[in-house]
Amino acid sequence: MKINRRNLLVGALTSGATYKLSAQTVTPLIGIAEPDQSIDLWPHGAPGQPLIRLNETVIERSENPALMDRAVVAISQPRLMVFRPKVVNGAAVLITPGGGYQRVVVDKEGYQLGRWLSARGFTVFVLLYRLPHEGWAAGAEVCLSDAQRAMRLIRSHAKDYAIDPERVASMDFSAGGHLCADLATRFDTKTYSAVDSADELSARPSVAAPIYPVISMSSPLAHAGSRKRLIGNDATLALEKLHSPHLNVTEKTPPFFLIHAEDDSSVVVENSLVMREALKAKGIAVEMHLFVQGGHGFGLPEARAKLIAIWPELFLAWAKTQELI
């Protein structure tokens, strides 16, 4: 990967890190308030490598030098980017950013919220996950494999981070919200072979918070780009069902927190509505907030001038009711 000032993915170990972990994928560290550490998901490399070697690339999409908006493609070393709080509250959050399963949007739907949550005591893990259309043997299951492995790895290091393994949330956005809901409904589906003792642990999130999520993989609700890159345009009805989380809710599914804007023209609000209906039908606790305006892709800075800007505080209030904090 070519490195320049506008093509950097920050992470890696800082000189102050004290955790005893195996060698990690090191990426350049710049600026302030960036991740404190990175943790490779797979100790011997990600399984089912593509035939054509991937060249991880970071794309800076912002024209404002004061506001980074980086997206990553061709991720060959999936990893967790860690944000450590100064005062630990004992809870952790796994964030899987969106990007339509075409890219992983690390700043807008990852690092910004990682900094915000860690400032409030959460230990935050932003997942750089593999993309399903890039030739991995697991195909459409490759993202879920990374999310399951991430949740188990977080729990395996609970003592290192002073977190409660029973208080690990999953929060995600757009297509990442689909991955969040997929993890919450299919956490015990075997998508990879165990590689170490961490894989003996549960991949079930304590709570799930998909934000403006892609849910359905069937027309007319499906987000066309996410569907194409995850399961293909010619997917069977059975494949659509397998990857539509609202059709896979069980009594073991964790509580959900849903946020959506009714004027979202990219991922229609009915995605959250069908998810809520499915959860209620199984007796799963769910809180949902709908906003008249907000559009799609509202990060923290983008939401400041809108009523929808209160959504992170709504999540914190709900998290207390679920004993996450």
Is the distance from CB of 147 to CB of 182 less than 8 angstroms? yes
In order of start, what are the domains of the chain with their CATH numbers? 37-321 (3.40.50.1820)
Is the distance from CB of 98 to CB of 109 less than 8 angstroms? yes
**How far is it, in rounded angstroms, from Cα 129 to Cα 104?**
7
Q: One digit per residue, pLDDT tens: the chain, 325 residues? A: 333 333 334 333 222 333 334 445 544 333 345 899 999 999 999 999 999 999 999 998 877 777 788 999 999 999 999 999 999 999 999 999 999 999 999 998 899 999 999 999 999 999 999 999 999 999 999 999 999 999 999 999 999 999 999 999 999 999 999 999 999 999 999 999 999 999 999 999 999 999 999 999 999 999 999 999 999 999 999 999 999 999 999 999 999 999 999 999 999 999 999 999 999 999 999 999 999 999 898 766 554 557 888 999 999 999 999 999 9
**How far is it, in rounded angstroms, from Cα 245 to Cα 261?**
20
